[in-house]
Structures are given as C-alpha cells and as structure tokens.
Amino acid sequence: MGVDLRHKKTEFYVSLGAAILGLFACAMASVMGGYVSFAWFTANRQVSGNVSNLIAAEDNTVESVKVYPFFNVTSEGGTPVAGVLTFDKTASSEQNMGDYSILKQEGNAVLIEVDLTASAQSKHTIDINAHSAGTTFLGALDGNGALITPLQPTGNSLSSVVHFYAFSSASIGGLDDTGATHYSVTLSNTINQNADKMTFVSDDQIISDQAVGTLAGPGVSKVFFVLDYDISLVELVYSANLGNDVAAGMGVEVKEDGLAYLSYTPDFYFWLNALD
C-alpha cells in the first residue's frame, strides 16, 4: 500500500500511517514456573520497491514521500545522546518501524520526509495538522472498570499507541552534509505547537483533529515527521488488557519467530495546508 494523497481545496492530505505501520505482537515468557505476558510490537508492512507508489498524485502538492529507518550510532562506535534520534540516510523500500518489546523500548522510530512541489513551495504558510479516525482509546475503561474496546487479534487502532513530531529542514542534522553517515534529529527542535511530542490520546479519549504546527514560506521545500511508539500509552493499553486472553496471545496466530501477532489498523494521517 502506498502513501494515500488526496487534494481538497487548498488542503494536501498525506496519509503516512497506512504506508508505514502494521503489526502488533505479544509473547509469553516463563517466569518461576508460571507465565507472564510481555507486550511486543513489530510494525512491518511490505511496500513495493518501486518508489513511484510514494509520490503524490497531485502535481501541485507533494512531490514525494520517503521513509528512513532508525540508525544505531553504536554500530559506528558512537554514543546515543538523550533527546536525539538518528536515522539511516538511505530511504527504505520496506516501511518498517523497529520491533518493540520491554527489552527494546527505544530505537524503533522512523523519519518521514515529505518533499513539496514548486507550487506548494511558493505559498506563504504551510499548516500541519493530524487526523485520527480512531473511535476509542484501547486503554479506556467504562464506569465499572471494564474495557470499552478490548484488544482483538486484528483491527486494533494504531492511534492508541504512537506519538509524533514535525520538523523543518533546519532541524535535520546531516541533511546537507554528504559526508554524514546518518541524519540526526533533536526532538526539542520540533515545530509541534506544544514544543513536545504529540499523541492522538487525551484523557483516555482519541483526539480526532489537532493542529500540529506551522512553517513560514515561501520556500518551504520539505516537511519532516518522526513517528514512534509511545511507551506510556503501550503500558496503559496492556495494563488495561491484562485479563484479556487475546493480549496474552490466546487464539492468535503464532509466527515462525514464536510470537503471536495482533494486527493494528493504521487509522490516522497528517495533512499539509498550503496558504497564500
């Protein structure tokens, strides 16, 4: 599935989630003769190697979308820096986030590069917004303490477990440095209106629409997003689902790696509104 791009008046809709994210997994581990449920994520959606399916259909909006996987600086003898994420400089044809587990809660993010056309670059303002079609936060309980929407083997809302940041080109380290082996992003440089990560969840409710940030033009040629699992939301969802057999892998297909996978539906997108 490629990036879904829709044009409506002056709004340019870039559906990134559908091209990037997919699967959720659980595993059982033996502990002192008993069993305890550990939450695992793997976001692995195969996308055709032909990059043309990531290019905007509208000639006057988005030129292309690229996705870069996480880059581990320790592979070069480097040391990770708190609040800074690093990404490979080679775009991936397989739009994969990393595998999330209690042993690997970090290093799973992806960097999304959105290239704008000359027409969009001529506009004076680029408004960035986010929309979720999710209806219920998967960690929400009713007045009796029961799950409103328990985890299911398939069709779970991805909006419940991710956070995101938006950035200008100026915040992407290594973008214009041909000698750099990777991109680096300081999260505090986000243009998010709250100057911090944003999620689709507030007070155990899904937020349908929210303004993310604004870039002043003309001359904005790129917009970047960082998308990652949100550890606190993952913990809330699985704490609420501790009594749910599905969350423990019951009745869920077990893959070759021994994990039982629950499917999450990408149910959100970002849109860019280019204004004169």
Indicate the helix (H) or strand (E) that contains 234.
helix 231-240
pLDDT score, position 268: 79
Residue 188 class from Cβ within 10 Å (0-12 exposed, 13-18 middle, 19+ buried)? exposed
What is d(CA 180, CA 182) in angstroms, rounded to the nearest whole number?
A: 6
Average pLDDT along the chain: 75
List phi, psi (to 5°) of 63.
-75, -45
- DSSP letter, residue 1: -
Tens of pLDDT, residues 17-51? 333 333 333 333 323 222 222 333 333 332 222 22
- DSSP letter, residue 136: S
What is d(CA 271, CA 186) in angstroms, rounded to the nearest whole number?
A: 23
pLDDT interval class at 52 (50, 70, 90): very low
Per-residue burial over 47-77, b if 16 or more Cβ lie within 10 Å, else e, is beeeeeebbbeeeebbbbbbbbbbbebeeee
pLDDT score, position 153: 77
Cβ atoms of residues 158 and 17 within 8 Å: yes
Quote the tokens at residue 64. 């292309």
Tens of pLDDT, residues 139-173? 999 999 999 999 887 777 888 988 999 999 999 99
Quote the tokens at residue 89. 């400089």
